[in-house]
Amino acid sequence: MALEDAAKQVDTAITRDGFKGLSFENTFGGVTSFLRRSYAKDLSNVDIAVTGVPFDQAVTNRPGTRLGPRAIREASSLQSPDPAYGWDFDVLSEFAIADYGDLAFDYAHIDQFPATLEAHISSILDQDAACLTLGGDHYITFPILRAHVKKHGPLSLLQFDAHTDTWPDDDMTRVDHGTMFYKAVKEGLIDPARSVQVGIRTTNEDTLGVNIIDAREVHEAGPKAVVDKIKSILGDNKTYLTFDIDALDPAFAPGTGTPVWGGLTSAQASIMLRDLAGINVIGGDVVEVSPPFDTTGATAIAGAHVAMEILNLWAYNRRG
């Protein structure tokens, strides 16, 4: 049946009736929304919206992540015909998921960007839809957190990353992808005692009280022990999940601006994300995919898989 459907389906991102169901169009053609979901600005009947933020003007190293959302969407077409492996439900068929398109902003007015992004995310949350964001550099998580905290109150942060991004910076107007979680703690957006950073392998003396599970601990203790530790810290707190693709070792995700050796394997990441089922995820993002350095497309594919897992984590507690 799927082969027959693939021969006659095309552009389901704009032709599907509704927001649920698998897509069986050819992966090499058609309009590439995320996972071939329907494009929509009216989220009246939508459970969760996916949006892109093509911004990389906060990077300290190699640029290119402004091209990330488009690359992740294209890579996601490889997954759209099938339910996600390892889950006992099909999030694409059971939940109404829409692609909300990308953030529109004036690249020449960087000072206006944070408020523009915060308002964009709020426009999704105010329609009673949850939000999954495709980046873009990691700074984008800061305005996104502000929007989520307005709706949900202070949150736990679950961050997969090579860097803590908590380097000191008391100038709240600076747009920098290495300091935004310092600001998030100082602003009271996240509770550091109930937050976890996983995969860290760069030096930052002041962790601001955030719990660190570095890459070596993941390698030595194994994914299951790490998941148990994460769950014990998060409890049932409302949690925002941010996944910087450089959490993965450059062997698995070379297409990023600040690669660091000794990182997580894609297998470790997939096990942890699936075994985290049950945590109270209210939103999330995948950031720092930089297509100019992603010669095989492996990084964008990894980013698309991570985004799918975040969808499943969000949906897990909401089944039925």
Asked if residue 17 belongs to a known ligand binding site, the reply is no
Q: How far apart are CA 186 and CA 182, in angstroms?
A: 6
Phi then psi dihedrals of residue 24, to 5 deg: -120, 35
177 appears as a binding residue in the annotation: no
Distance of CA 126 to the CA centre of its chain: 20
CB 121 within 8 A of CB 147: yes
Give the number of other CB atoms < 10 A from CB of residue 23.
Answer: 26
Give CA–CA dist 146/141, Å, rounded.
9
Structure tokens at 134: 């495709």
Contact 276, 194 (CB under 8 A): no
Bridge partners, 134 (sequence order): 52, 286
User: Which of 232, 229, 253 is closest to 303 using CA atoms?
Assistant: 253
219 in a labelled binding site: no
In the numeric block, which tokens belong to residue 191? 């509770």
Is position 109 annotated in a ligand binding site?
no
Does 169 belong to an annotated binding site?
Answer: no
Q: Is 246 annotated as belonging to a binding site?
A: yes
Which ranges of the chain would DSSP assign to H, the alpha helix?
A: 2-6, 12-15, 68-76, 91-94, 113-125, 141-152, 180-186, 215-221, 223-234, 266-275, 298-316
Question: First CA to last CA across the chain, in angstroms?
Answer: 27
Answer yes or no: are the C-beta atoms of 306 and 159 closer than 8 Å. no
Polymer length in residues for the chain: 320
Rounded Cα–Cα distance for residues 304 and 96 (Å): 18
Helix, strand, coil in percent for the chain, rounding step 5: 40, 15, 45
Amino acid at 2: A
* Residue positions forming the annotated binding site: 138, 161, 163, 165, 244, 246
* Residue positions forming the annotated binding site for Mn(2+): 138, 161, 163, 165, 244, 246
